[in-house]
């Protein structure tokens, strides 16, 4: 039996092969289209049981099978798997586009909404139907028939372009390595980081120390290496990934231009002025202007702190490090040395207290204390030997959910950290279907037979993804469309994840998750106090950086004309780029200049408005901005800051009542995690907090309320 067509339990990852993908997809699509035809031919009054439920069942089978393929493509990428994934992605996209455009299906859902049964349905099912009606409208169901083919073609092309963007970035990241043959060049780099690089070189059949652009290799080098030339080399390679400065075959620039054009066309077909309006139709925020006003207000509050941060950093770099001019490849290095001088500790020192075999049990103990849960290792077919599987149990021993944990970076795995759903909770004839999640990170693997060591930032990342996982796993909703994270507004989905981050700064929590790698001692109180003192170190700069990305994303999808400017700087060097002055191109060598902006010029505008630290002209950040070009955050990157307001204010209730207060924890579980998308996120927040959110908790948590700081 094709393992992708087995829905009786957990995915059979050990058996899934690339040749299983196409037959599974073809069979499921054929089955689903046959079901849709039967549903449309049924002349009886549509109800939940005879219409919504069978369609849900069919689409869940397709989602679960394709979800396994997408997951494997992200964590065990290979040429063979990539080929079948990209070959079948348009088929999946076409099917969902067909559903979204089907006016007969739309009318059936409207009939349920307007029928007598609607009032008798549960709140969750009513919400699903309202969401379905919205999604049909956004899916083009009301478009004139002559426009539907074009709308569907846009969806298919967008899915292909976004997948290609991700592939290019992965390939560009993997393609670059730098071998250091003289250990003198590694001055400043901690011993364990040198060992990782030495093992990487050995695996590649080389002598020396091999560095890559993956986070566990790139990050520590930029932070600790005294060799400025080495830092510059790695920085240039990193910020030029997937651009014309790297490899023309992997250049994401034309993909970005086409993605933006198609999103603009799609939006206009649906009656929206721009893609940002379309994106916000299913979010908490209501208009692009509301989002930009929020971002600019936050930028105004953070700017004095950021200016102070930068002035201090430049002065320190000049006086203590001999760096007359602070460059982008110096920022991480200078910041770490300033942190060490000011707070008398280094991140490397802290890292020694966070071994994996202590961090995980400590995190699990926290959710036991807060939510009355226990987490136990379990067994399941896995895709890689380093992946693991866990059960989450209620206090009475009942299974609540399960999750996979894949923490280490490797060549076959895309960068970053993310959570995804494998199976969603719902009621089926045999009872409740257990929800299952994937939790993925990109930390350095264990070295020398010892447990992996995590930086405190990596611990925060782990808690963040676990928060997403809890949101998916602790739902009590029994209908797919609003169970777990399904149906949750995108700008509220980060609330549980950012909420969990706060506990990484609590003494009582860290006591249970720290042990020195050599001595076995717990984290000393004196070092913890230094960490707390340094918690908001450069928070002004960090806040403006997130706002820069968020505002760039919103403007890119709101007031940027993708048809107005050149696709690339190379198209017309005389196109008015603020980044370089070059003579006009010879006549006939390029298409006529349309007089508009490039994507990079728009980013320059945003930086000039909100940033205080401006990267060099060769920085090609948009080419690796996979969140908005390949990850579902288009016109939604602001969600991180938006949800941070919610999470900080939610956490303040714990601060007021005791951060390990189970009563408050159970209230959070019941009012935020358990309800999933069955009600509006604002209603859930008010039910938990007793009022609407306020920005003050976020500013306080980030140390941005010091009245002594003036512009």
Angle between helices 79-101 and 145-175 (to 10 degrees): 160
Strands 388-394 and 399-408: antiparallel
Q: H-helix or E-strand containing 300? A: helix 288-321
Residue ranges with strand state E in 339-469: 373-377, 388-394, 399-408, 418-423, 426-428, 431-433, 436-443
Q: What string of H, E and C letters represents the secondary structure of 270-284?
A: CCCCCHHHHHHCCCC
CA distance 167 to 295: 31
Question: Positive or negative, the Cα torsion across 476, 488, 696, 552?
Answer: positive
Q: Three-state SS for 233?
A: helix
Q: Which residues of 517-556 are buried (b: 16+ CB within 10 A; e: fewer)?
A: eeeeebbeeebbebbeebebbbbbbbbbbbbbbbbbbbbb
The H helix count followed by the E strand count for the chain is: 26, 9
The answer to whether the beta carbons of residues 486 and 526 sit under 8 Å apart is no
CA distance 146 to 148: 6
For the record, the structure tokens of 710 come out as: 């003036």
Query: Is 465 a known active-site residue?
Result: yes
Residue 651's Cβ-count burial label (10 Å; 0-12, 13-18, 19+) is: buried
Q: H-helix or E-strand containing 212? A: strand 209-212
CA distance 48 to 433: 19
Q: Which of 474, 411, 453, 495 is nearest to 204 (CA)?
A: 411
Strands 209-212 and 177-180: antiparallel
CA distance 4 to 13: 9
Q: How far is CA 103 from CA 168, 268, 706, in A?
A: 37, 19, 56
Please identify which of the residues 266, 465, 489, 548 carries the catalytic annotation: 465
DSSP 3-state helix, strand, coil percentages of the chain (rounded to 5)? 55, 5, 35
Q: Residues with catalytic annotation?
A: 465
């Amino acid at each position: 039996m094709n393992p992708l067509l087995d829905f009786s339990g957990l995915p059979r990852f050990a058996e899934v092969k690339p040749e299983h993908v196409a037959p599974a997809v073809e069979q499921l699509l054929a089955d689903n289209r046959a079901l849709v035809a039967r549903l449309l031919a049924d002349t009886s009054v549509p109800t939940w049981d005879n219409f919504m439920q069978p369609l849900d069942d069919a689409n869940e089978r397709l989602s679960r099978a394709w979800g396994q393929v997408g997951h494997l493509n992200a964590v065990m990428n290979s040429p063979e798997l990539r080929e079948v994934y990209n070959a079948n992605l348009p088929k999946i996209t076409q099917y969902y586009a067909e559903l979204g455009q089907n006016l007969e299906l739309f009318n059936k859902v409207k009939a349920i909404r307007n029928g007598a049964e609607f009032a008798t349905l549960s709140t969750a099912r009513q919400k699903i139907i309202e969401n379905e009606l919205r999604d049909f409208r956004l899916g083009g169901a009301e478009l004139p028939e002559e426009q539907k083919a074009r709308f569907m073609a846009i969806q298919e092309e967008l899915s292909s372009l976004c997948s290609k963007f991700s592939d290019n970035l992965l390939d560009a990241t993997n393609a670059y390595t730098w071998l250091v043959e003289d250990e003198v060049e590694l001055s400043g780099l901690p011993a364990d980081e040198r060992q990782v690089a030495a093992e990487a070189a050995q695996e590649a059949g080389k002598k020396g120390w091999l560095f890559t652009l993956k986070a566990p290799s790139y990050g520590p080098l930029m932070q600790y290496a005294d060799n400025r030339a080495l830092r510059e080399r790695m920085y240039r390679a990193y910020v030029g990934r997937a651009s014309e400065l790297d490899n023309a075959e992997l250049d994401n620039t034309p993909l970005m231009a086409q993605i933006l054009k198609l999103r603009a066309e799609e939006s206009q077909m649906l009656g929206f002025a721009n893609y940002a309006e379309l994106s916000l139709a299913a979010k908490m925020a209501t208009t692009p202007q509301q989002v930009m006003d929020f971002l600019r207000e936050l930028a105004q509050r953070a700017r004095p702190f950021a200016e102070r941060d930068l002035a201090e950093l430049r002065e320190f770099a000049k006086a203590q490090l001999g760096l007359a001019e602070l460059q982008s490849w110096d920022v991480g290095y200078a910041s770490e040395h300033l942190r060490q001088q000011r707070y008398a500790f280094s991140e490397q020192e802290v890292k020694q207290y966070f071994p994996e075999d202590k961090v995980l049990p400590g995190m699990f103990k926290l959710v036991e204390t807060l939510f009355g849960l226990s987490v136990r290792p379990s067994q399941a077919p896995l895709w890689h030997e380093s992946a693991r599987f866990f059960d989450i149990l209620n206090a009475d021993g009942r299974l609540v959910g399960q999750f996979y944990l894949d923490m280490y970076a490797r060549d076959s795995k895309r960068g970053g950290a993310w959570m995804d759903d494998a199976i969603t909770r719902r009621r089926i004839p045999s009872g409740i279907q257990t929800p299952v999640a994937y939790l993925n990170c990109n930390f350095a693997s264990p070295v020398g037979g010892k447990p992996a060591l995590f930086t405190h930032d990596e611990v925060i990342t782990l808690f963040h993804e676990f928060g997403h996982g809890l949101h998916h796993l602790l739902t009590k909703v029994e209908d797919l469309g609003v169970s777990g994270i399904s149906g949750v507004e995108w700008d509220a989905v980060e609330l549980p994840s950012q909420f969990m981050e706060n506990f990484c700064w609590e003494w009582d929590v860290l006591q249970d998750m720290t042990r020195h790698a050599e001595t076995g001692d717990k984290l000393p109180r004196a070092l913890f106090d230094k960490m707390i003192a340094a918690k908001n170190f450069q928070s002004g700069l960090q806040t403006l950086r997130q706002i820069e990305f968020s505002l760039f994303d919103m403007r890119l999808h709101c007031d940027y004309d993708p048809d107005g400017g050149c696709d690339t700087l190379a198209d017309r060097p005389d196109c008015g780029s603020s980044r370089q002055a070059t003579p006009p191109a010879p006549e006939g060598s390029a298409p006529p200049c349309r007089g508009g902006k490039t994507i990079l010029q728009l980013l320059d505008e945003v930086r000039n408005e909100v940033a205080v630290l401006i990267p060099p002209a060769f920085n090609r950040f948009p080419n690796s901005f996979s969140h908005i070009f390949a990850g579902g955050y288009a016109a939604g990157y602001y969600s991180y800051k938006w949800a941070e307001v919610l999470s900080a204010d939610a956490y303040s209730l714990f601060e007021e009542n005791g951060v390990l207060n189970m009563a408050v924890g159970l209230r959070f579980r019941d009012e935020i995690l358990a309800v999933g998308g069955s009600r509006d996120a604002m209603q859930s927040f008010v039910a938990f907090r007793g009022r609407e959110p306020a920005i003050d908790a976020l500013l306080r948590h980030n140390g941005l309320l010091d009245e002594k700081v003036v512009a």
